[in-house]
Structure 1
Amino acid sequence: MPVDHATDMRRIITGVVLAAVVILVLTVRGWPLLAFIMLVSALGLWEFFSLFWGPRGRIPTRICAILLGWGMLVLTWLHRPQDALVFLGAGFVLASLNFLFRWDVVGEETAFAPSGIFMAGLAYVPLLLLPATYLSTTKLIFVLAAVAASDTTAYFVGTRFGHHKLWPRVSPNKSSEGALGSLAGCVVFCVIYGAIFGTAGIISFALLGIAINAFAQMGDLFESALKRSVNVKDSGNLLPGHGGVLDRADSVLFAMPMFAVVDQWFHFF
C-alpha cells in the first residue's frame, strides 16, 4: 500500500492536538471533562444521523437525540445511572410514537426506519460513552491510550507492510498485517502501563490487551460497515487525517464499555 506522507503528517498533528486536549480535560476533570464528553456525544450523533439523513436532514430529530444523550451523560456523571436510563426509555417512547403515526401514512416497509436509526444513534454514541463519566483518570487514560496504540500501529504497519486484505467487503483498506500489528501494539502498551500503574500481573494485562484490541477492532469494523452501507468514505471531515469524530472514536465506543464491565469484576488498578 503506498505511503502518503502528507496524510501521515496531518494525522500525527491532529493526534497530538487531540491527545493534548484529552490530557487537559482529564487533568482538570469535573465540568470540563463532562463538557468534553457531551461535545463528543453531540458531534458523534450528528455524524451518525448524517450518514443516513444527509448533512441537514431531520434537524429537530437530531436535536432531540442530542438532548436525550446529554441527559443520560449528566445523570450518570451525577451518580444517578438509574435515572439516566429513563432518558433512553424516553427516546424509545418517542421513536415508537413516531413510528406509530408514520405507519399509516407512509409505506409500511419504510415507516420504522427513522425510528430505528434514532434509537440506534442513542445506543451507539451516548450510551456507550457513559463509562467516560465515572471511570478514574488512570483507567480512562489506560483505555484511550490502549485504543490509540491499537489504531496507530494498525495504521503504520498496514500502510507499510499490508498485503493481505482483512475483510475487503467491510473495509477495503484494512489488512491482516495491520490487524496483527494493532494487536501487538495494544498488548505491549497494556503490559507496560500495567507494570507501572497496575496491581494485577503481566499475564492479566496481556489478556486485557487482547480483549481491548478485539473490541476496538470490532468497533472500527462496525463503523466501516456503516459507512460502506451508505457509500461514504468518512463520517465527517472535522479532524484532518482522521475524518470525523466517529472515525476517531469508533474503537473507543466499543472498548470502553467492555473495560468498564470487566473492571467491576477484576481489579487491574
Structure 2
Amino acid sequence: MSLDSEMRSIDIRRIITGLALAAVLLAALWLRGWPLLFVILLVAALGLWEFYSLFWGPTGRIPSRICAIALGWGMLCLTWMHRPQDALVCLGAAFVLAAMSFLFRWDVIEEEDAFAASGIFMAGMAYVPLLLLPATYLSTLKLIFVLAAVAISDTAAYFVGTRFGHHKLWPRVSPNKSSEGAVGSLVACVLFCAVYGGMYGKAGWFAFALLGVAVNAFAQLGDLFESALKRSVRIKDSGSILPGHGGMLDRADSLLFAMPMVAVVDQWFFFF
C-alpha cells in the first residue's frame, strides 16, 4: 500500500470514528441523566487504564488500577449528586492509600522506586477523574460548546497540519505536530466560538472569540502534555480502542485541559 493510500485509509477511519463518537455524545447529552453519567464513567475508566498502562504496562499493578477507577468513579458520582465535598474525600482517600502503599513497598518489600509508583497512582487520579468533574455539572449548552470547540480544534489541526504542515511545532514533544496545524486549529476554534457566541451567548461574539483563544490554548496544551507522556515512555498511542485516533486519552487529552478552564471562566463571567 502506498503512503497516499495509507493516509487516505487513516483519514477515513478517523472520520468514521469521529462521527460515531459524536453520535454517542450527542445522544448522551440529549438524554442527560444516567446515560450521560455512564459515558463519563466509561471515559474515566478507559482513560485511567490507558494512563497507568503507559508506565506499568498493559497488565501491571491491576489492583492499583481497579482501586483508582473505583475512587475516580466515586468522585464523579458524588459530584453528579451535588456533593463535591465528598468527592474531595475520595481524592484524599486516594492519597492516603498511595502513601500507605509507598510505606509498605519501601520498608517491607524494599522497592527502590516505591514512591514513583505512588506518584503515578496520584497523577492518574488528578489527570483523569479530577479534570473530568466539570462534565458532571456543566449544562448541556456549555458541554456542547466545549466539546464542539475542542473537536473542531483537533480536526483543523490534523487536516491543516497533514496538508500544509512544514514547520515543526515542538519536535521533541510531538514530532508530527506542525506550526501550520496549530495556527489552523486556533483560527477554526476562534471562528466557531465567535459564531456560537453570536447565536447562543450572552456576552457577544467578540467575547466568545477571546474565549476561543483560551479554549484552543488549553486544548493544545492538553494535547502536547499527553504527547510528552507518550514520548517519555516511547509509546506512539495510549491505546487502540478508537480506530484512526488511538486510545481514549488520545481523543480526550485536549478536552481534559479545556473543560476545567471553561468551568472556571463560567464561574466568573456570564458567557451563557
TM-score range, shorter chain: over 0.9
The residue that corresponds to 1:96 in the other structure is 99
Which residues in structure 2 correspond to 1:4-153 (within 5 Å)? 4-105=7-108, 109-153=112-156
* Paired residue type of 1:66: I
Distance 1:101 1:237 in 2: 34
Q: Deviations over 1:115-146 (max 9, x none)?
A: 00000000000000000000000000000000
Over the matched positions of the two proteins, sequence identity in percent amounts to 77
Q: Compute the displacement of 1:101 (Å).
A: 1.2
What's 1:244 paired with? 247
Report the more deviating stretch, 109-118 or 85-94: 109-118
Name the counterpart of 2:176: 173
Measure the CA separation in 2 of the matches of 1:180 and 1:107. Answer: 50
**Displacement, 1:104?**
2.0
CA RMSD of aligned residues (A): 1.0
> How far apart are the structure 2 equivalents of 1:42 and 1:240?
19
Task: Could you list the structure 1 runs, at least 4 aligned residues long, displaced by more than 3 angstroms after superposition.
Answer: 105-109
Give 2:264's aligned residue. Answer: 261
- Kindly provide the CA deviation profile for residues 61-110 of structure 1, in whole angstroms up to 9, marking residues without a partner as x: 10000000000000000000011000000000000001111122456751
Between the aligned partners of 1:43 and 1:232, the Cα distance in structure 2 is 17
Q: Contact 2:102 / 2:114 at 8 angstroms: preserved in 1?
A: yes
Contact 2:196 2:205 in 1 (8 A): no
SS of the residue corresponding to residue 176 of structure 2 reads: strand
- The number of residues matched between the two structures is 268
**Structure 1 stretches of 5 or more lacking a match?**
none
User: Which residues in structure 2 correspond to 1:148-163 (within 5 Å)?
Assistant: 148-163=151-166
Distance 1:214 1:229 in 2: 22
How many angstroms apart in 2 are the aligned matches of 1:254 and 1:169? 21
Aligned with 2:114: secondary structure? coil
TM-score where L is the length of structure 2: 0.97
